């Protein structure tokens, strides 16, 4: 999985899903893609080290785009959105957590898809992607090769469901149990 980092990303949007994936390293290799190799500052002020730069990032298999305060500027950055669209379009699966869906929508990557986002920022995010069928109140939405989740902690639920889809429900249930995470395995809104 290739995780997109940008200044002002939300820590839990990244590290909730990464905690899930760390429990099944035989199935997922993770790379952190930032503006350049090196530190990228989160909304909370903690810096995380990107191990790939956007300009040299390998073709992704699965993409994860987090939300965070930094999305407010990036939705208007046409050069960054062009990079995201061209790079992420190579992936077999594209996912987002929270307001990361605004970036996917602004880049045209949710056109013709059902999607969700953070309930508290739903009006702002859903203003992007006029061709997106926004699903208010959904914890996560799985529509073909797109997975989107509501705010922050919903990314953990979505990633557990993704693990269940790709590796089997028993694997996802085992990961949730090992994390001592109360995961009901609620069904997403599917297309």
Domain boundaries, the chain: 2-190
Distance linking the first and last C-alpha atoms of the chain: 23
Residues 24, 26, 31: CA angle, nearest 5 degrees? 85
Instruction: Collect all residues with Cβ–Cβ distance below 8 Å to 160 and sequence separation of at least 6.
Output: 20, 172, 175, 176, 181, 183, 185
- pLDDT for 191 equals 45
Nearest residue to 50 via CA among 40, 62, 59? 40
Give the pTM: 0.95
Confidence (pLDDT) at 186 = 54
Nearest Cα residue to 188 out of 157, 167, 166, 153: 157
Which pLDDT score is estimated for 72?
97
Task: Reply yes or no on domain 2-190 having CATH 3.40.50.880.
Answer: yes
pLDDT in tens, the chain (191 residues): 999 999 999 999 999 999 999 999 999 999 999 999 999 999 999 999 999 999 999 999 999 999 999 999 999 999 999 999 999 999 999 999 999 999 999 999 999 999 999 999 999 999 998 899 999 999 999 999 999 999 889 999 999 999 999 999 999 999 999 999 988 765 555 54
**Which residues are known to be catalytic?**
98
H or E element in which residue 29 lies: none
pLDDT at position 151 = 87
């Amino acid at each position: 999985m290739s995780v997109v980092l940008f200044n002002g990303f939300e820590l839990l949007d990244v590290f909730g899903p990464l905690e899930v994936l760390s429990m099944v390293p035989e199935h997922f290799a993770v790379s952190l893609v930032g503006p350049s190799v090196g530190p990228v500052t989160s909304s909370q002020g903690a810096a995380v080290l990107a191990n790939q730069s956007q300009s040299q990032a390998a073709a992704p298999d699965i993409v994860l785009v987090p939300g965070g305060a930094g999305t407010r500027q990036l939705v208007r950055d046409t050069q960054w959105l062009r990079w995201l669209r061209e790079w992420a379009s190579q992936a077999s699966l594209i996912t987002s957590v929270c307001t990361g869906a605004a970036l996917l929508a602004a880049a045209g990557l949710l056109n013709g898809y059902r999607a969700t986002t953070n309930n508290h920022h739903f009006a702002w995010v859903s203003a992007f992607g006029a061709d997106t069928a926004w699903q208010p109140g959904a914890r996560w939405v799985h529509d073909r090769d797109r997975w989107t989740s509501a705010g922050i902690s919903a990314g953990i639920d979505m990633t557990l469901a993704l693990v269940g889809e790709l590796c089997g429900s028993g694997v996802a249930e085992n990961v949730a149990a090992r994390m001592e995470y109360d995961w009901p395995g609620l069904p997403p809104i599917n297309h």
